[in-house]
Structure 1
């Protein structure tokens, strides 16, 4: 990939109204990122709005220089060594910033998450389980948070660990994990979606969670309260077709309620590393590289009739609805529906939600 194409892809990824789905569709429709950039004004006009303001190239060039200065590198969607399983999910990050041993991204990965205020017993269990999984040939991925995440990384640092962080790759959060983060950047893999210098914000953590859920073959929840971020990760893993595993806990401990509920709802009950291996080994041998997943880009149409555009738009409203439902009710070809949605999003009129749902933005 040329430097110009890398810069154009990064510019698309950093621009407003261009989310992961629209990014993928633009690159599926046009031969290069630069061609997609040049077509955006016309696509936005068809969607009934003005073209989004693209990221300033001076900022893009400055970011690329900073990433290089930090000893990190970019991974672009569907371009090796971007992890194929992550690229399979609908909301896959267009660009990742990584630092460390990138060969770990090709190995079988297991996500491990849990409570920040975890009990001492749960932390010990997470550390020992992560160590045992590493000994069996798996790479543990977690979020470098306090509690269970930290225990997971300590347990798997020698065999290979992946830390997905919510802020920029140069931001240490939580501050007490600075040494651990630097160690992972040397011996494991540090992964960030946000540009360097980005302080982690509340809205960034669900994005980070989807990366942990999408990277590997399954997610293990060690300890989690109801409505916690760990349960969001488990839900995302289930939506992505990954195995969801949970460690049971005392019904008297609120920190165990989330895991117990997951098990009640059908998650796999985990008590030893053998339980995990029994679940995961049918999907691939430990120590082997992850199987290649051939990317099939969403089809979009270059031509949309006016009545088709109006029909799709009329079916949209403030209440999120699945794209499949729009296709079913409109009776319009999927590639045409996808094109109309692409145009509306570039025009700033469409909002995408989890689970493949979309809604119209409320106009002031």
Structure 2
């Protein structure tokens, strides 16, 4: 993890422009900056990258005016857009490889630097599940933990409401100015006033279904561990639990009746090795036993310096594209199938992603775009 540093206005603008560029996710952003040194230099290189990858149309980066307007609109709303290299970027999130390039913060940024734990669960939670979420959250808050969740109905809302006075962080799928669900408008206002609202999405953006897995990665990435209270099979909360495990976070689950489908996911997590917790004391005991260092997704390899030439060796881009499947695979395995080094393969994958042909994913994975 690079040391934190401040940004000039020009550097911030370039950082946000690259982060908002078409087909540039956290992995591609990280590797472009690693390759070219700065977001500004990476933006300048995009036309040549598009040409080399055989892309018939330019890669679309937002205009300078559009980014300046977004930064100004967020500031007028009372929010700030910060970069992953800055000191007030949430430290656990900055330790991920790669972190989200930018976040928009509304409220108390200092809460993200305190001990944090995520509590997530079913939207259609039972009365018992809601009470458990309130009690566990309140107990953790009283013990000095800030509770992180996603502002959803059900378990999320109970977790936030129980920790307004002790510290709570809501991570949104849309922009920080987009209150979703609308039933939580009052709770959103209370968190904005006393806690912290966080989003990776651009200011003014309205969330779509595909945005919530990214939101979930931030919830777990900001937290030392995640507690799941009621979750059906194939629910978003189970996706959060999987992400938490991949990030090296502790996964905890509250057991429930085998007859209640809202407990099927949490019971399955326990069966698969998650820690069983009944109340806040159980969570605190588990968290206190952790040796907490730099937990993160697996590191992405460095770029191959030879990729800075004018053209790719014959057939390499085509070999990597042919090796991809819709199912994410480790980049090392893709490189092995192509007979290439991992660094060279990673660099080619970035060019394919910018062309809309591939997806690079946190955890050192890549897939063919579908």
Indicate yes or no: 2:135 matched with 1:128. yes
- SS of residue matched to 2:209: coil
Residue 344 (structure 1) aligns with: 352
Label 1:202 to 1:97 Cα distance change in 2 as closer, same or farther (>3 A). Answer: same
Residue 23 (structure 2) aligns with: 17
Q: C-alpha distance in 2, partners of 1:319/1:169?
A: 32
Indicate yes or no: 2:43 matched with 1:42. no
Label 1:323 to 1:5 Cα distance change in 2 as closer, same or farther (>3 A). Answer: same
Is the 8 Å Cα contact of residues 95 and 295 (structure 2) preserved in structure 1? no
- SS of residue matched to 1:283: coil
- SS of residue matched to 1:326: helix
Q: TM-score, normalised by structure 2?
A: 0.90
Give the ranges of 4+ consecutive aligned residues of structure 1 lying more than 6 Å apart after TM superposition.
Answer: 290-293
Label 1:121 to 1:43 Cα distance change in 2 as closer, same or farther (>3 A). Answer: same
Is the 8 Å Cα contact of residues 325 and 367 (structure 2) preserved in structure 1? yes
Is the 8 Å Cα contact of residues 167 and 199 (structure 1) preserved in structure 2? yes
Q: C-alpha distance in 2, partners of 1:359/1:223?
A: 31
1:42-96 superposed Cα distances (whole Å, 9 cap, x missing partner): 1222222244111122221111110000110112123221123223334532111
1:172-221 superposed Cα distances (whole Å, 9 cap, x missing partner): 22222112111111211110122222222211111111111111111100
1:1-364 maps to which residues of 2 (within 5 A)? Answer: 1-49=7-55, 50-90=57-97, 92-283=99-290, 298-304=301-307, 306-307=313-314, 308-353=316-361, 356-361=364-369
- SS of residue matched to 1:111: strand
- SS of residue matched to 2:104: strand
Is the 8 Å Cα contact of residues 312 and 330 (structure 1) preserved in structure 2? yes
Q: Identify the range of structure 1 (74-83 vs 182-191) with the bigger mean alpha-carbon deviation.
A: 74-83
Q: C-alpha distance in 2, partners of 1:169/1:266?
A: 35
Q: C-alpha distance in 2, partners of 1:319/1:209?
A: 20
Is the 8 Å Cα contact of residues 123 and 153 (structure 2) preserved in structure 1? yes
1:127-146 superposed Cα distances (whole Å, 9 cap, x missing partner): 11111111112111001111
- SS of residue matched to 1:303: helix
Q: C-alpha distance in 2, partners of 1:115/1:242?
A: 20
Is the 8 Å Cα contact of residues 104 and 188 (structure 1) preserved in structure 2? yes
Q: Matched residue pairs, number?
A: 357
Q: CA deviation at 1:224?
A: 1.0
1:9-57 superposed Cα distances (whole Å, 9 cap, x missing partner): 1111111121111101111122321111001111222222244111122
Label 1:271 to 1:323 Cα distance change in 2 as closer, same or farther (>3 A). Answer: same
Gaps of 5+ in 2: 1-6
Is the 8 Å Cα contact of residues 27 and 362 (structure 2) preserved in structure 1? no
Is the 8 Å Cα contact of residues 123 and 147 (structure 1) preserved in structure 2? yes
- SS of residue matched to 2:305: coil
Gaps of 5+ in 1: none
- SS of residue matched to 1:183: helix
- SS of residue matched to 2:366: strand
Q: TM-score, normalised by structure 1?
A: 0.91
Q: CA deviation at 1:353?
A: 4.8
- SS of residue matched to 1:306: coil
